[in-house]
Structure 1
């Protein structure tokens, strides 16, 4: 949703036998919405799952949509649209970096729409058989996307190890555009820990992206921390969903708060006691304000035991 609350963008990645589409809805009155556009997949994106991920600028004039299953030699990528004189116009299509890289599995736009990021969690360097994810960042204008810098999977660092999947989960900018949250929800190992159930990283940009914080759930497996997540508008809080955390508990949402330049340890937040088995709490999560967030549990059961899914609105004091 745009920051002013008047535009919603929705991905439909299985539209047209998997080609995908993106729908735009516009508020027409206080209680009414109308479909204003359907953005079709760019040419050549057959069965590309266009709309698998979507992002919109706060003013509702820029949209970035991922198509991770695009069938080209640079598999996947993302399409960038700009609203010009009331018409959505395709400006740039970015590639996924390598064959089967799943580029566009995650995408992000900064609040002011001037920076974009695209995750490619299955990236492989030329001539290599090793999966090592990437996050590509861009400067965004009304004329298109211009390459800014890429972030290499930090698993090569001596202080952290993640494994495949970097760039395939949470992807979120701070309001000043110079902070970026990126995740590796399928990470299985970390330096100093026997196992982790996913990892996430906070980066700051000067002339390149520098990792300044690492988040993980040690001594867990398959929790998929960072499957979803976001940074608060003021940049002082990070939320991370772990929808497969302790399967019998049905998932968890975690939060870290910053004091000065230091991020605190992860603590749980939101629904804890009423999760049904495999309710997948944390499958999606987002900030509305600095102190209000929403957490999705798409497999949660209602009071009749029927899987309907639930969304939890959480206020933080």
Structure 2
């Protein structure tokens, strides 16, 4: 007999190094004819890092366009033709800013030059076949906070929520504050402006939050940040936070954010980014300290108060006036940041990764500099735009300039990736986790930190002990979010088969001598990190008895091992003589609980000489919560708790229940107060308050046994508990 159990594989993931992934990306159908030192690729990337969008405002003589790339097995390719929004007026500079939803299926492209620099934004969506198309007309906000729309340059910056249903469009101009417009999408795919535009308040007299400030929005779409670099005392710059209430109304949260430690004209707010939950913000100031540049982190407390976290961030390997903080981005959890400096090393440009641990930020690795294509000039200003995937393991760095000089090779964008941490597969729950019946629809839940798609096989083993022989032993291999194959292991329980298999969804069935599973009533559902497997199981009469439900999960790097997550009684022949009942509750949770145990004897409860309760991961009295209960009367028992070594020789910790005493060992303690005993006819019922030790954490099984003068039931698994 061989169970499908594999060893866990561990690997360190401390300060993983980012390395360039493939050659630089550039739109295959880009039309570049002019040079603009600020017309390089703007970039954004999906949460999983597998879809990237590049905006190129200088495409086709500044009409502009955007390009989508996807990753498969580490290889990046352009997906479809370039995206060009319709109804553009004049040289719209589409692609001046870009953003993409968490799943990569909705993109927003800003064009600040549209219609004489009124500006606009365009929404594009991807179909299930990978085709991109414009969704609705271009978005133009009205009215501007200044009362003017002409020259507001809407689309100077854009952001989008994770679900793609909320978009922020930023506008910057020299004669009005940096202004934000919010647009939302309804269930029919129709976009509309939400409320009036807004701008931050509290700028110093004589200054406004203007000139190419950054704009960003949180994953849930309820927190937005606006940067204004030409504001406050000597153009120090600042950022403003806005939140949306349940009625869809936006309002400023607190005062402006100004990072401490700035030197000179910092231009804080020229770039901003926000974490998925909206509780961490990064603000770039590329002019700090004579254009060395820096970035500042701000965090929000539970009461909505913002404060700076640590000192300003600067790289330890920048060369010259790098202008760090030119562009910034954060991972979804806010623990990984990327900061660029376009002028590092004589305008070669670079980007830096910083990570947070315990509230402290530090540079993670050496600066990231993309390898140029053959014939490409070194003057490419890498870091003109940067973006970080939600998981924090893929970064994209766009060039800040499109200049081939005498060459036809133009700088593009570079992907940098770090190895993700080992994924962790796990079994989560069984529902129902206890009960009795010959037919039952069970729901088994599994998870994987890398997403349910990482799960290669999940196993369910139902038997009285952890043994694949003569068991209801099921393996499920997912093939899609709602599909996969169910294999029922044969009676001999070996891994070599033959297996009885069927496909879900389907109407077939599989069976062995212990159970059968019907396709009708069975299903699979993968979502996020969770895989839910529902199986309609019928137990054969010969398989009657009390059984444990063991679960395991495996992906490419690890196996969870078996865990007992429930028990089930399959009805069999009627018990004659001595017997054990179920425990209530059938599935416990936590360190404390009150449990009721039932024992039976057709000769009368007085015939029960001793009733045993063994709580452990398996039938093993060592380091267990192992009780011997000796009836004294119809309302009392002697409680003996076996010592940690588990041998029958004692010493035992004893008391009478109910009573004022208690007994304990290294695994548990039982209180006499709150306990009760009720004996009548052929039934003995004992209720005990049990407190488990923290060191006894895990999924534990309740085994019951009883003996009389001549009979012994043997151990029966009748319940379980998640001790934590």
TM-score tier by shorter-chain length is: 0.7 to 0.9
Pairing partner for 2:249 from 144, 163, 166: 144
Q: Distance in 2 between matches of 1:278 and 1:101?
A: 31
8 Å Cα contact 1:300/1:307 also seen in 2: no
Map of 1:285 onto structure 2: 386
Q: 1:268 to 1:297 in 2, by over 3 A?
A: farther
Q: Distance in 2 between matches of 1:71 and 1:45?
A: 11
Q: Distance in 2 between matches of 1:143 and 1:234?
A: 24
Q: 1:234 to 1:57 in 2, by over 3 A?
A: same
Pairing partner for 1:200 from 291, 295, 302: 295
Instruction: Give per-residue Cα distances to partners, 1:126-174, cap 9 Å, x unaligned.
Output: xxx73332211011246231211233433xx4x44352411112x1222
Q: Distance in 1 between matches of 2:371 and 2:244?
A: 43
Matches within 5 A, 1:239-278: 239-247=338-346, 250-265=348-363, 267-272=365-370, 274=372, 276-278=377-379
Q: How many residues align?
A: 300
TM-score by length of 1: 0.85
Map of 1:172 onto structure 2: 273
Instruction: Give per-residue Cα distances to partners, 1:56-104, cap 9 Å, x unaligned.
Output: 00111111111111744xx331111122353222123112546653177
Q: Distance in 2 between matches of 1:93 and 1:104?
A: 17
8 Å Cα contact 1:20/1:41 also seen in 2: no
1:42 aligns with 2:115: no
Pairing partner for 2:197 from 86, 93, 96: 93
Q: Distance in 1 between matches of 2:281 and 2:397?
A: 20
Q: Distance in 1 between matches of 2:370 and 2:215?
A: 29
8 Å Cα contact 1:184/1:226 also seen in 2: yes
Instruction: Give per-residue Cα distances to partners, 1:252-308, cap 9 Å, x unaligned.
Output: 011112233221136434335548332011111112232111111243678x93252
Structure 2 residue ranges without an equivalent (≥5): 1-99, 420-724
Pairing partner for 1:224 from 312, 315, 323: 323
Map of 2:215 onto structure 1: 107
Structure 1 residue ranges without an equivalent (≥5): 190-195
Q: Distance in 2 between matches of 1:46 and 1:137?
A: 25
8 Å Cα contact 2:267/2:286 also seen in 1: yes
SS of the residue corresponding to residue 188 of structure 1 reads: helix
Shift of 1:217: 4.3
Q: 1:62 to 1:117 in 2, by over 3 A?
A: same
1:22 aligns with 2:121: yes
Instruction: Give per-residue Cα distances to partners, 1:222-272, cap 9 Å, x unaligned.
Output: 322111121112322111111111225x10011112233221136434335
8 Å Cα contact 2:267/2:288 also seen in 1: yes
TM-score by length of 2: 0.39
Q: Distance in 2 between matches of 1:215 and 1:176?
A: 22
**CA RMSD of superposed structures (Å):** 2.6
Q: 1:11 to 1:270 in 2, by over 3 A?
A: same
SS of the residue corresponding to residue 51 of structure 1 reads: strand
1:68 aligns with 2:172: yes
SS of the residue corresponding to residue 219 of structure 2 reads: coil
Map of 1:193 onto structure 2: none
SS of the residue corresponding to residue 116 of structure 2 reads: helix
Q: Distance in 1 between matches of 2:321 and 2:255?
A: 27
Map of 1:9 onto structure 2: 108
Q: Distance in 2 between matches of 1:68 and 1:161?
A: 25
Q: Distance in 2 between matches of 1:93 and 1:151?
A: 18
1:310 aligns with 2:310: no
Deviates more, 1:197-206 or 1:35-44: 35-44
Q: Distance in 1 between matches of 2:267 and 2:129?
A: 41
